[in-house]
Structure 1
Amino acid sequence: MDIQLKRVYESPEESDGYRILTDRLWPRGISREKAALDLWAKDMAPSSELRKWFGHDPEKYETFRKKYLQELDHNPGKEDFLSLVKSHLKEGRVTLLYGARDREHNQAVVLQHFLEQALS
C-alpha cells in the first residue's frame, strides 16, 4: 500500500499520484493551482473543536490521535472515502497533504495509519 505524506507547501511531483488535502481549513499562502490537488477531503479532517483543542501541541498528540480515530470511525463519509482511496491505490500512489510544520504530530499521520489498517 503506497500512501505517502507530504506538506502541501512542497512542490507537487508526478510521483505523488493522487493528491488529497487532509486539512479542514485551506492552508495559508498557497494557491489552489500551486497545491495541485485532486481532492480536498475537509469532511475527513478532524472537527474544528478537536483541531482547536489540539493546537499542534505534541504533548496532546496521543489524546488527539485517539479522539480523531473515534471521529473517523463515526464519520458518515468514511466508506465512500475508503472506497475512493482504495480505487486510486490500485492505480498507484496516494499522497496525503497537510499544512502543519510538525511532520510527526498532525492529522495526516493519523489518517495514513487509519487508511492502512482499514484497507489492509
Structure 2
Amino acid sequence: MTETEIRTKRIYERASASDGTRVLVDRLWPRGVSRASAAVDVWLADIAPSAALRTWFHHDPARFSSFRTCYQQELDDNPAAVDSMLALMKPGRLTLLYAAHDLQHNHAIVLADYLQRRLQAEGEGGVAKKRPVPAETEVVGHER
C-alpha cells in the first residue's frame, strides 16, 4: 500500500491489526473505555469539533449538512491540529476512532473526507509531508 488509507471506526469496536495507526479524534475520552483496552496510538482532542458546535449538532441527522460545513471551517481555522494529524500520515492505514452512535452522521466521517482532500491537494501520491508532532499532542504508547 503506497498511500494512506483513512478509515473510521467506533472506539467501542475491538481493535484489529488491520486498523494501522489508531487515532482517537473525540474531545472527551469515551465513557466506559479504559486507556488500556482502547488500543489508541494517539489522542488528538484538539481536532474534534468545538464544544459549541458539538452541542448545537447534538447528532441530529437533519443538521449534518450544516454541521459538516461548520466543522470544515473549524478545521481550516485550526492548522495546528490539522498539522498534528497530517504528521501521522504515512503509507498504510490510519483509523479515526470516535464514540458517536451514528455511523453515518459524525465528525470522524467529515474529518476523514477533509484529510483525504488535503492529501490529494498536496499531490504527493497520498502521503503528506513529514511534519513534527507538536509537543502538546498526547501520544499514547508510542515514542515521538
Q: TM-score scaled to structure 1, two decimals?
A: 0.92
Shift of 1:76: 3.6
Structure 2 residue aligned with 1:11: 14
Larger CA deviation: 66-75 vs 34-43: 34-43
Q: Which amino acid aligns with 1:19?
A: R
Q: Which amino acid aligns with 2:94?
A: V
Structure 2: runs of 5 or more not aligned: 121-144
Conserved in 1, the CA contact under 8 Å of 2:5 and 2:93?
yes
Shift of 1:84: 1.3
Aligned residues: 117
Structure 2 residue aligned with 1:103: 103
Bigger radius of gyration: 2
Q: Which amino acid aligns with 2:78?
A: N
Shift of 1:34: 1.0
Q: Which has the higher helix share?
A: 1
Match of 1:66 among 57, 65, 69: 69
- What is the percent sequence identity of the aligned residues? 50
Whole-Å Cα distance in 1 between the matches of residues 65 and 44 of structure 2? 22
Q: Rate the CA distance shift 1:82–1:22 in 2: closer, same or farther, 3 A.
A: closer
Whole-Å Cα distance in 2 between the matches of residues 79 and 48 of structure 1? 17
Q: Which amino acid aligns with 1:74?
A: D
